[in-house]
Each structure stands twice: as structure tokens, then as C-alpha cells.
Amino acid sequence: MVSIEKLVYGGDGLAHHGERTVFVPFVLPGEEVRVAGKSHRKNLVWANPIEIAKPSASRIEPKCAHFKVCGGCQYQHIEASTQTQFKHEILKETLLRLGGIRWEDEIKLHTAAPYEYRNRAQWGVRSAMTRALGYFLPESSTIVPIDDCPVLSPLLSRTFHQLQELMRSNSLPAQIEEIEAFAGSADQKLALNIAFRSFEQHPAAIIKFFREALPQLESLLIHDQRKNKFELSGPGFLTHRAGGFNFQVNHLSFFQVNRFLIEDLLRSVVSGKKGSLALDLYAGVGFFSLPLAKTFDRVISVDANESAIRDLRKNVEAAGVAVTSHNLHTEEFLKKFDEKPDLIVLDPPRSGLGQFASAKLAELRSPDITYLSCDPSTLARDLAVFLQTGRMPAGAKPNAPRYEIKSIELFDLFPQTHHIETLVHLRLAP
């Protein structure tokens, strides 16, 4: 029996048993839980809950029958507003523990409907009889078949049920390994990426099948992985509208997944920003670049994804704005860039900036840096460089400028999960 002390990033509860630290999923602080160990390393133990002997008053019934099984959600046993409070505490604790950053001021919370928010999803195919669609277990190739997924948008949910019925009736074309679905901003048009081990039928026959089975299908990309051959049917993109702009997003580009908080996120990043030069790193399809081009004399956008840069350039042309774009990794771009932007916008992947990019950006002495992070651990590491709260990276200039945090905002883009999206506004210290 262990007593849960707090929740930690990743979704687990933390407890102690003697000298050992125990991590337990699907629990709440204050609960007394009977557990069974599943793995350990030195004095760290990962355990499964066997019985909630003393449940928290905050515990609720999960909405999804597959909760605890499919691995996609960690918090459905917690009411939505309480989830965000826990994420708030986890964010502050992570910044202090990993970055030496003690933040006592307000963290503005942005929330929306806790279900039906996802406009993109990936489903694996279980080829064993009965065939079925489902989600991969965490860090596993095992696919858990599901019947419903309440975080999906209505269009994606309807599409999933149609595909699942076809799969279980053995009607879908053979050799499918994975299906990725995404919906436009109005949740009326659908695009699919379907990965096949190989095409057993002619591509035209496969395309005809899906067109007839899914009338809502706008664009379809199928991939023969054995021959690395792609076939496209349709325009090759969907359109998302935000901030008065239309964003073309093709099959291989990224766009924000929470359809309810897109406008709020855009406003928080670009509102009130103006000047001579804005630098948008990890720019994607131009989500921030386009509105910034309305208030800055020059905007430079950088992204390593060739597909996203193609979309960005088409979006820039359609919007009638001026943006200079570079299809480069941020580190490569920064090796030769030495201008001083009035604003730097950062939206890196989960791995964050890294010490080299953080140090190089600090050396540019921009008065305003806006950092959007999807991982508080790497955010804390990167902010430690900007704020000089930890050891400076090798090669950093001894007189590198120091930044300070102006404000922090938390966007609950992924309710029911442990994921935390954080927007940090930095300013150059006087």
C-alpha cells in the first residue's frame, strides 16, 4: 500500500515506500493505493494500481470505456478543471527542478471543451482476426482495438466508426498498416493518409473504394511502403481558417490539433506585436508568420520540413503578404544569421531548442522572445540558458545577455492527457 503525494509529468502519481520512489498511473494525490510492481531501476519503482483503497473526492467516472487500456489518455478519472490545476502545479515544479526557475506570478490558463477537440488522429491496423482499428500501446507495437474515442472531432469519430465497421467485416483493402485522418477547420472535409505494406490492388481501385465508402473524403494519399510509392487523389491539402487567414495544410504538414483553441493560441502569440523584423523559427505552414507579416516590415520564417515550407509559401502568396522562408534546420540557419530581430517566435518539437540554438538566439539580443513549448522538461532546460539560471553551454559567450520571464500561459491543448503546452514571453533584461 502506498500514499500518493502528487502527480508528475507523464501522468503518474508519485509515492514513497521505504527508501523507494514509486510511480503509479491513474491515481490522484491523497489516495491510498494497493499496487503491484512492474519494473524498477535502483530505488525507482513503476507499479500498477490494483485497488484504490481510499479514493480521492476528486475522482470521477471516465467517459471512455477504453480508458487505462489504449494508453492515449491518462486523466479521464479527473474532472477537466482539476486536470488543468494539476498541470499548472507540474509545470511550476518542472521549471524549478530542471531549470532552477522559481515562478510565483500568475500562469494564465487557456481551456476549452475537454472532448471532441482533436482534428487529427492515427489508427493502427490489427491484421489478426478479427481485423480491427485501434491505438498502439505506449512504447509498443501492440494495437488495442477500440469502439469509440471521445476526444475525436465529430467528423473524425464518424469516419473512425465507418472504417472500423469495414475493417471488422473484412471489407477494407488488404495490407493496410496505418491510417492517419485529419479534418479541416469546419470539421466537414476529411483527408486520409493510408500506409500499405504493399498494394495488392491497382491504386485506382483502392482510391475508388475509399471514395465510395467515405463521401466526406476530400483528399487521399496512399503509400506502398515496399516500393516507397505514393498515389494522391484530390487536392492534396485541407484548409484551416484562423485569424482571418486561410492556411493550406497538406498531407505531410503539421497543424495545431486542438480545433477549439487555435484562435486563442494565435492571438496570444501575435497580438500587439509589431516592428521592423520578426523571426519565426519552426514556422510550419506559416501559422504565426502570416499574421506577423501584417505588423512587421520583414518576416523571416524557418522550417526543416520541406512539405510545410511548400505550404507556407503558398499560404503567403494567397494572403498577399511578404515572408522570406528558409527550408533549413534551425541550428544550420542560426550559424549564419546575425541580425537583431524585434521579435523571435519559437515553436520547436518536443525535443526543444537544445543548448546551442538557445545560446545563439540569446546572442542575437532580440528584445522580445515568445517560446511555445509542448514539453516542460525541455522548456526548463532551454529557459535556463536564456535566464542563466544554470550552467552555460560550452561555447557560449561569457557576456551573453540575460533574459527574464515577462509572463507564462498554459494552453490545455490535450485534455484528458498529461501533455502540457506552455507559452513563455521573454524580454531582454535591462
Q: Is the pLDDT of residue 136 over 90?
A: no
pLDDT band at 131 (very low <50, low <70, confident <90, very high): confident
Q: Are the CB atoms for 376 and 9 separated by under 8 Å?
A: yes
Q: Given CA atoms 351, 356, 362, 368 in this order, what sign does their dihedral have?
A: negative
Q: Give the domain ranges of the chain.
A: 1-59, 120-237
Question: Chain-centre distance of CA 49, in angstroms?
Answer: 28
| Cβ(278)–Cβ(370) below 8 Å | no
Is 251 within 8 Å of 305 (Cβ atoms)? Answer: no
Share of the chain above pLDDT 90, in %: 92
CATH class of 120-237: mainly beta
Which of the given ranges, 126-140, 328-342, 386-400, has the highest pLDDT on average? 328-342
Confidence of residue 246 (pLDDT cuts 50, 70, 90): very high
Taking each helix axis from N to C end, the angle separating 376-387 and 355-363, rounded to the nearest 10 degrees, works out to 40
- Predicted pLDDT at 416: 98
Please state the rounded mean pLDDT for residues 122-138: 85
pLDDT bucket at 393, cuts 50 / 70 / 90: low
**What is the predicted pLDDT for the residue at 389?**
84
Per residue in 200-209, pLDDT tens?
Answer: 999 999 999 9
In the chain, % of residues over pLDDT 70: 97
Predicted pLDDT of residue 429: 93
Q: What are phi and psi of 49, to 5 degrees?
A: -75, 130
Lowest mean pLDDT among 94-98, 131-135, 316-320, 395-399: 395-399
The predicted pLDDT at position 391 comes to 59
Residue 268 clears pLDDT 80, i.e. is over it: yes
220 within 8 A of 204, measured Cβ to Cβ: no
pLDDT tens column, 152-184: 999 999 999 999 999 999 999 999 999 999 999
pLDDT confidence bin for 217, thresholds 50/70/90: very high
Cis amide bond preceding 130, omega within 30: yes
**pLDDT averaged over the chain?**
95
pTM comes to 0.94
N-term to C-term CA, the chain: 52
The pLDDT of residue 358 is above 70: yes
Nine cell digits for residue 78: 479527473
Does domain 1-59 sit in CATH 2.130.10.10? no
Q: What are 166's three cell numbers? A: 469495414
pLDDT at position 399 over 80: no
Mean pLDDT within 302-328? 98
Which grid coordinates belong to 259?
A: 480545433
Q: What is the mean pLDDT of residues 227-232?
A: 97
Residue pLDDT, tens place only, 177-195: 999 999 999 999 999 999 9
**Measured CA distances, 196 to 119, 225, 277, 338 (Å):** 23, 6, 45, 46
Segment 126-148 shows an average pLDDT of: 84
Please state at what angle helix 376-387 crosses helix 80-99, rounded to 10 degrees.
40
Least reliable range by pLDDT among 164-168, 310-314, 407-411: 164-168
The pLDDT of residue 137: 81
pLDDT tens track for 45-100: 999 999 999 999 999 999 999 999 988 999 999 999 999 999 999 999 999 999 99
| pLDDT of 138 higher than 90 | no
Q: Averaging pLDDT over each range in 135-149, 377-391, 409-423, which range is the top one?
A: 409-423
Nearest to 348, CA basis, from 321, 322, 369 = 369
